[in-house]
Amino acid sequence: MTCRIDILDPVDIALVDDELVAVLSKDSVSFYSTTASCLLESHRVDEGVNTVYAEKNNVYLVGKEPIVYTIDTNKSTLRQTNSLPGITNWKCNDFHKLEKVLLLHPKKSGVLTKSILLYDVKTDSVVRELKTDVVSSSSKFRKESYEVMTTGMNDWSMYDLRGSSKKAVYSFSLKGSTVKQGYKTNLSYCETVDKDVHRLFTWSGETQPSERWSFDEKKWFLGLIDGNRASDAFVMHGTFKNSQLVLTDVKNVADHKPTSFFKYGVKSPNQTMFDILPGKVFATGCSTGVMLQSAEFDVANYKNHSEKLREACRKAKSRVTEDKEMKELKKINDRYEAAGKRDEDINVYDNDVTEEKFIIGKLLGTGSFGSVFKCTSKKSDKEFALKYVMNQTSILSKKFEIEREVLIQRELRHENIVKMYAAFRSNINICFVLELMQESLYDVLNEKRGHVMNVKDIARMTECVANALSYCHQRCIIHRDLKPQNILHNLEGVYKVTDFGSATDERHGTFCGTQGYMAPEVITRSKQTTALDCYSLGIVIHQCTQGKLPFQLPTGHVSDYMVSKCKYNPPVTMNLSIRALTQMLIRKNAEERWTANQVLGSQLIRDYRHQTQDDVYKRERQLI
């Protein structure tokens, strides 16, 4: 399967079902499809929230303060419960899915107490309190909700909540401090560390725990997951030398060179979180994202089964943006192209629109494309931008290039794309009647407000452009010349993409673009996909925050050689959210770049949306 979700610094993860995973970040929880890795929805939560649990219909978010968020996954609604007056903070350790009970450690003055609470999320109340004889650093459920494991310094204890005694039923002395504990497939497990030596213990009800594995700081251990018919459980582990997650039978992990059941590449060594739906799927997470893998371990050939699922996920990801409207628009576009080839006057230009219908105003700008003037309709007094392009339809290549721009712009209807109202031709010019905008991003950077934009304005621009690119890419349209001159904004501050003269579909791959903004595959004349627009967006974002292009030489020119190598190292002074985004866009390998949809789910955009929501809320509060 090995399906990747690129998200920076996840805090925790929880599998809702085999099609939905909840990913908690520092101030929001996002829901992703497990089959297509796409973002489905997002909810904002307090930054103190650090744990997420899920069951069939609900997701529960718990933080340091006594607050529980509940999200109904069927209705997409979020409910906040302020619980337990008198307790300033707590530590959440586990969740029992069947009983819907949280296992909490209350704190007083920031210090853990000799108490463990069972909190029922259905009734928003504490249903039981366990008084322990020692302070526990961690607690977990075993198989039943009345069986609780606790750990402390050199101590691992088992409690039965059905009795009245606060004494442990079983208590074991383990050397070192506890790193983590858990329960899987009738096996309780505990990892300890003492003088850089880690030990893994398991216990299934016998007299004493069994030491399964001893390892040093060069290796890492994530946890145990349910095994197959031949194994009680699999150990999830790896080394810091490579980015691989290894599944090994718990009986074999102590061998000098254990035979692994399966291993696969992950984006970073030392996975720090995981969740599993036994027999279906399991998820692991680290600082760079989340990995999803099949948990159907009992199939005849798990490796081949996993590869087939991986290919199915890849196809699902490529199809996820397709819907009925997109397919219909593509049919319309194909029909226009076919008609244009049969008769050059069919569905290309507007014969009822002429230059005499407008009052031509001041010059707005010039370039290699031609000139743009402000104009006013004599009929409606509405203002437009009139773009003049030299009529070169006698040259066959130019003829189809201009007609392609007309046809593409006719079909693009999006709030972040400059509208084209009409196109007509004269003996001298081809004229485009366009939506009137205030100025270009180029003007903002070089003439109006200095060379550097603030983070909020960069986020607004990025969201608008990514929205436009997502819309185009879903229709298999590549802009191919994204740059500040082709990003305009209106009086409301909405940024829009313009100039589709270089746009094409994924079947064509000519050398096209502007130096400095062209992707490595354009420089090397390789296959061109929608990923080249995302590279250009990364360059634009870098320019907005630094005032220059990333591979710019002291002479002001951009080195094609440096672009083709694409060793991008953003300055350490760059905003962290912007830095993280540009690193995912300015990449040599087109397949590794973030898509426009992934940009919309980036931390930069999420922070901007949350800030915008807060600004609206503050303005509304001022009206009270």
- Positions marked active-site: 481
CB 576 within 8 A of CB 558: no
Please tell me the number of Cα atoms within 13 Å of 104 on its side-chain side: 30
Spatial separation of the C-alpha atoms in residues 359 and 555, rounded to whole Å: 43
The three-state secondary structure class of 150 is strand
Residue type, position 13, single letter = I
Residue type, position 394, single letter = S
**473: nearest Cα among 505, 507, 508, 434:** 505
Spatial separation of the C-alpha atoms in residues 542 and 551, rounded to whole Å: 11
CB 219 within 8 A of CB 240: yes
The three-state secondary structure class of 555 is coil
Spatial separation of the C-alpha atoms in residues 416 and 492, rounded to whole Å: 12
Q: Determine how β-strand 439-440 pairs with β-strand 487-489.
A: antiparallel
Burial 190-217 (b: 16+ CB within 10 A, else e): bbbeeeeebbbbbbeeeeebeebbebee
Spatial separation of the C-alpha atoms in residues 410 and 564, rounded to whole Å: 35
Q: Is 387 annotated as a binding residue?
A: yes
* Partners of residue 614 on adjacent β-strands: none
In SS3 terms, 242-304 reads as: CCEEEEEECCCCCCCCCCCCEEEECCCCCCCEEEEECCCEEEEEECCEEEEEECCCCCCCHHH
Spatial separation of the C-alpha atoms in residues 502 and 482, rounded to whole Å: 10
Residue 571 is encoded by which pair of tokens? 């300055």
CB 599 within 8 A of CB 585: yes
CA 327 to chain centroid: 25
Strand order in the sheet with 358-367: 358-367, 370-377, 383-390, 429-434, 420-425
Spatial separation of the C-alpha atoms in residues 393 and 187, rounded to whole Å: 76
String of DSSP letters for 191-260: EEEETTEEEEEEESSSSS-EEEEEE-TTEEEEEEEE--TT-SEEEEEEETTS-EEEEEETTTTTSSSPPP
Which DSSP category does 484 fall into? G
String of DSSP letters for 368-399: TTEEEEEEEETTT--EEEEEEEE--TTSHHHH
φ, ψ for residue 566 (rounded to 5)?
55, 55
Annotated binding site for ATP: which residue ranges?
A: 387, 499
- Residues placed in the known binding site: 387, 499
